[in-house]
Structure 1
Amino acid sequence: MRNIKLLWGLTVILSAAVLVLGLLVIRLSGREQGLPDAAAPDPEAERVVAKIGGREFTLGVLEEQLMDKHGAELINQLLDREAVRLESERIAVKVTREEVDRELKRMQQGYDSEEQFYESMKTQVGMSKEEIREDVYYKLLLDAVATSSIKVSGAEVDAYIKEHPEEFHMASLLRIGVIVNKTADQAKRTLELFRSGKDFAQLAKERSLDTASAAEGGDLGWVEDNDPFIPQEYLKAARTLKVGDVAGPVETDGGFAVILLKDKKDQSKGSMEEIRARVTKQLALQKAPPLQDILQSLRKKYDAVILDPALK
């Protein structure tokens, strides 16, 4: 199970929405260079971009479909970001490159590498490295605007840390492989095959009932040793193993599992200074109005208006 963290606007900037913006820029720049205006026929809109059988698809049709599906989302995001930027300049708050780097590093926990994280984001949500970085920047900038006038005392931070010690202790990360069989006898047979030299990933693809993990060779990825979203029987078994060892049959709701501990490492929650900074921000955001309300207030403050009825 990958440690995927949702970003502000992550489900808004999709590849299709980015393409909408690109098409608009092309069309607008063309008009600036003396090409036909919106009232006249636009030759560029009639350019054929795809064919199938006897049917042709033009750039104009593609643009229309993309605008219908994603135009409103994109223009609203652009207005939100500009409102946040204007307010941050007014009150003189900034987000540094180092802050963005730290947030991206936190998001990458649970992935084998930075490259794997960005590849996963590209595959799952259609965002490039640059788009993710920009999204994180504006999320942090909104947080900074929202909490700029909110005070959190040292005593409040101390009390929170004291009341939630489990959030700050050194965590163990486990890389777990799992093969789920219907019966205990089938799981014992899986164990025999593995111990005789069969590849665990191949066995998972051939024998596991858990189709999601089987497609990954039984790999659940890096998970915390107390992850509430992983069957606790898996974690209990994995905690008793040395790297490379297997356990089973482990009875679960889904059947009988064979558990492989592929790797293990400790994960620091950061220095006390970093922990206190995170808690301070978290408590400040709890005191602040909802972020969506802040965005709406800023859009009103800076006179944001969507003029095209099709984009409302």
Structure 2
Amino acid sequence: MRRTDLLKGLIAVQAACMIVVAVVVLIRLLPVSAGGAPAVPPAEPEPAAPDGGAVVGQVGGKAVTKDELLQALEQQFGKQVLYTLMVRRAIDLEAEAVGLSVSAAEVERELARMIDGYASEADFYQAMEGQLGLTKEQVAEDAKYRLLLEQIAMRAVEVGEAEVDAYIDSHPARFAPDIRVDLAWILTETPRLAEQAVGELEDGASFAALARRYSMDEYTAEIGGEIGQVDLDDPFVDPAVLEAAAELEVGAIAGPLVVDDGYAVIRLNERTVSQQMDETRIREAAFRLAALSLAPPLHEVERDLLLKYEAQVLPPYELGN
């Protein structure tokens, strides 16, 4: 299955990465089950503020206290973290009531599907930590709860071999090998600057040096214009960049390209093609996707579980619709 098919799942749980920074606040508000929240390592003793509170930072000689930090985290993330914790509690209750479970092997297979398309397992976990703030253990925990929620959603859905065949026939791109490209770019405000960069590159100038000099993308300019690895159908990368990258030889450049934010010069560093899934994995993935397409949306399943188990929240942590 293509890695982009998993983006919805990852984006949908992006709020879960905030649990790590706010769970210490919410544990005081809501008890959680033994697998329901990330572990918080014991903190080192902090120096005391003049009023007796623990100091976690200083600016201009003025203390920032732990109480101030926790209050800010609670105000900013409290509602959505509490919602996530309560949904996990409801999932645990429902799974126990109807006899559903997720084995360690199933979690490992799900993680393998998520890792597929990355250059390595290390690259995947580095991306999860860098982009979503999730540790390896938290990625696995989230995968477990996502699989349990899917099982709950799919209980009333019947999918046979004919439905699986139809799903595969209707979605061939989902089961094709995943093509990824490693790119660098120089993003300029005017076509003249982009053309100047192309000319200097043709004369042998360093791409990284020119990115630092010309690119207005501050984040990538600092690292020599490196975007990193992306899918050729990545929805977050400008289509003009992806179309040009698909035609390039490794090491070649293209540009100037008209993109949403200006004019781009790109270089293809590497192209990788993931291994084609075998028939068993294709049918397993198609069964799951076909069943989920017929099942209620997962956010509705979460809402129904909270209603079923009479979830109650004290003000000001009222759950939104």
Q: The TM-score by the shorter chain falls in which range?
A: 0.7 to 0.9
Q: Does 1:126 align with 2:130?
A: no
Is the deviation greater in 3-12 or in 160-169? Answer: 3-12
> Residues 179 and 9 (structure 1 numbering): CA distance in 2 closer, same or farther, change over 3 Å?
closer
Q: Does 1:309 align with 2:312?
A: no
Number of aligned positions between the proteins: 290
Contact 1:179 1:218 in 2 (8 A): yes
Contact 1:183 1:256 in 2 (8 A): yes
Contact 1:7 1:136 in 2 (8 A): no
Structure 2 Cα separation of the partners of residues 71 and 211 of structure 1: 32
- Secondary structure, counterpart of 2:230 in structure 1: strand
Q: Tell me which of 31, 50, 53 is aligned to 1:48.
A: 53
Deviation at 1:149, TM superposition (A): 3.0
Structure 2 Cα separation of the partners of residues 180 and 263 of structure 1: 20
> Residues 292 and 108 (structure 1 numbering): CA distance in 2 closer, same or farther, change over 3 Å?
same
Write the deviation string for residues 84-136 of structure 1: whole angstroms up to 9, x where unpaired. 11221222222222332333344345655433443443344433222222112
Q: Does 1:10 align with 2:14?
A: yes
Q: Does 1:89 align with 2:96?
A: yes
- Secondary structure, counterpart of 2:14 in structure 1: coil
Structure 2 portions without partners, runs of 5+: 31-50
Structure 2 Cα separation of the partners of residues 57 and 208 of structure 1: 37
Q: Does 1:292 align with 2:287?
A: no
> Residues 186 and 70 (structure 1 numbering): CA distance in 2 closer, same or farther, change over 3 Å?
closer
Instruction: Return the index of the structure with the highest Cα Rg.
Output: 1
Give the aligned partner of residue 275 of structure 1.
Answer: 282
Q: Which AA in structure 1 matches 2:285?
A: R
Give the aligned partner of residue 102 of structure 1.
Answer: 109
Q: Does 1:142 align with 2:146?
A: no
- Secondary structure, counterpart of 2:245 in structure 1: helix
Structure 2 Cα separation of the partners of residues 52 and 22 of structure 1: 29
CA root-mean-square deviation: 3.3
Q: TM-score by structure 1 length? A: 0.77
Deviation at 1:212, TM superposition (A): 4.9
The correspondence of residues 67-78 of structure 1 with structure 2, limited to 5 A, is: 67-78=74-85
Is the deviation greater in 146-155 or in 103-112? Answer: 103-112
Structure 2 Cα separation of the partners of residues 228 and 54 of structure 1: 46
Is the deviation greater in 76-85 or in 294-303? Answer: 294-303
> Residues 186 and 123 (structure 1 numbering): CA distance in 2 closer, same or farther, change over 3 Å?
closer
Contact 2:164 2:287 in 1 (8 A): yes
Structure 2 Cα separation of the partners of residues 56 and 186 of structure 1: 46
Structure 1 Cα separation of the partners of residues 258 and 81 of structure 2: 48
Structure 1 Cα separation of the partners of residues 87 and 292 of structure 2: 18
Q: Does 1:157 align with 2:168?
A: no
> Residues 57 and 182 (structure 1 numbering): CA distance in 2 closer, same or farther, change over 3 Å?
closer
Instruction: Give the share of equivalent positions with the same residue, in percent.
Output: 35
Give the aligned partner of residue 40 of structure 1.
Answer: none
Q: TM-score by structure 2 length? A: 0.75
Structure 2 Cα separation of the partners of residues 155 and 283 of structure 1: 11
Is the deviation greater in 101-110 or in 164-173? Answer: 101-110
Q: Does 1:172 align with 2:179?
A: yes
Structure 2 Cα separation of the partners of residues 66 and 257 of structure 1: 39
> Residues 23 and 82 (structure 1 numbering): CA distance in 2 closer, same or farther, change over 3 Å?
closer
- Secondary structure, counterpart of 1:48 in structure 2: coil
Q: Does 1:262 align with 2:262?
A: no
Q: Tell me which of 202, 205, 209 is aligned to 1:198.
A: 205
